[in-house]
Amino acid sequence: MKLGNILFVAAMLVAPFTVSAGGDVEAGKVKAAVCAGCHGADGNSPSSGFPSLAGQHADYIAKQLADYKSGARANGIMQGQAAGLSEEDMADLGAYFASQTAKQGVAAEDNIQKGEDIFRGGIAGTNIPACIGCHGANGAGMIGAGYPALAGQYKEYTVAQLQAFRSGARANDNAAMMRTIAERMTDAEMEAVANYIQGLY
């Protein structure tokens, strides 16, 4: 069995984040007012420097906020924002952003085929598994397994996260799966797959 397949199977066997966000959408809307400057009032970020959160899985958002608060995920701005949040706050914010509709992104044509090939088929030569294995054919992710939705996310943000996984600056991935994958990817491969993801729906 190839390493990429072994990693995928291992990640599926490791217990994922299982705490259900179960938050209140209306309470989350009120609490999300402070998030609007970076992520947009409806979770569709106005800037590629900040991720869009609209339509993201509620439990995934709650987990990322918990990881920022604990320091498991490092980001100066977000650690400050999450420091005062309770579990209920995190659940409410997750519920609100999950209830919003993500705006469709547009991919550039120059390397879209390369990006699609990576997303759908992986890279055999460097044993990188297809992204669809965890994030789905349409980029909707897998709620039960804790894998986030990617479709429509800004290319710049996706590249930054892949680079952070590669360097180890981000280390809150399940079973180190994304770190293992990203460390074998070139910048050009990251750019291509991130571009494809931006236009994926």
Looking at the fold, whether 60 and 128 belong to one and the same domain comes out as no
pLDDT of residue 12: 41
Looking at the fold, whether 94 and 49 belong to one and the same domain comes out as yes
Looking at the fold, whether 108 and 183 belong to one and the same domain comes out as yes
Where among 98, 125, 150 does a domain terminate? 98
- Dist CA 85 CA 185 (whole Å): 35
- Dist CA 4 CA 127 (whole Å): 5
pLDDT of residue 201: 83
Where among 98, 121, 141 does a domain terminate? 98
The pair of structure tokens assigned to 78 is: 């977000």
Per the structure, the count of domains in the chain is 2
Residue 175 lies in a domain: yes
Looking at the fold, whether 34 and 90 belong to one and the same domain comes out as yes
Residue 20 lies in a domain: no
CA-based end-to-end distance of the chain: 31
> What is the residue range of 157's domain?
3-14+104-198
Looking at the fold, whether 10 and 31 belong to one and the same domain comes out as no
Q: CA-CA distances (angstroms) from residue 122 to 22, 129, 190?
A: 34, 4, 12
* Across 126-131, average pLDDT: 97
* DSSP bridge partners of 201: none
Residue 83 lies in a domain: yes
Q: Is pLDDT at 15 greater than 80 in this prediction?
A: no
Residue 159's identity, in one-letter code, is V
Location of structure tokens 């390397």: 111
What's the mean pLDDT when you consider all of the chain? 91
Q: Is pLDDT at 188 greater than 50 in this prediction?
A: yes
Looking at the fold, whether 110 and 191 belong to one and the same domain comes out as yes
Looking at the fold, whether 113 and 166 belong to one and the same domain comes out as yes
Looking at the fold, whether 29 and 84 belong to one and the same domain comes out as yes
> Residue 35's domain is classified under what CATH number?
1.10.760.10
Count of all residues that appear for the chain in the document:
201
- Dist CA 158 CA 142 (whole Å): 17
The secondary element (H helix, E strand) that includes residue 39 is: helix 36-39
Looking at the fold, whether 112 and 189 belong to one and the same domain comes out as yes
* Across 14-33, average pLDDT: 74
Where among 98, 121, 144 does a domain terminate? 98
Instruction: Encode pLDDT of 26-69 as tens digits.
Output: 999 999 999 999 999 999 999 999 999 999 999 999 999 999 99
Residue 19 lies in a domain: no
Q: Is pLDDT at 168 greater than 90 in this prediction?
A: yes
* Residue 135 CB partners (closer than 8 Å, separation 6+): 141, 142, 147, 148, 149, 150
Q: Which residue has the higher pLDDT, 11 or 175?
A: 175
pLDDT of residue 8: 44
* Across 115-132, average pLDDT: 97
Looking at the fold, whether 91 and 109 belong to one and the same domain comes out as no
Residue 60 lies in a domain: yes
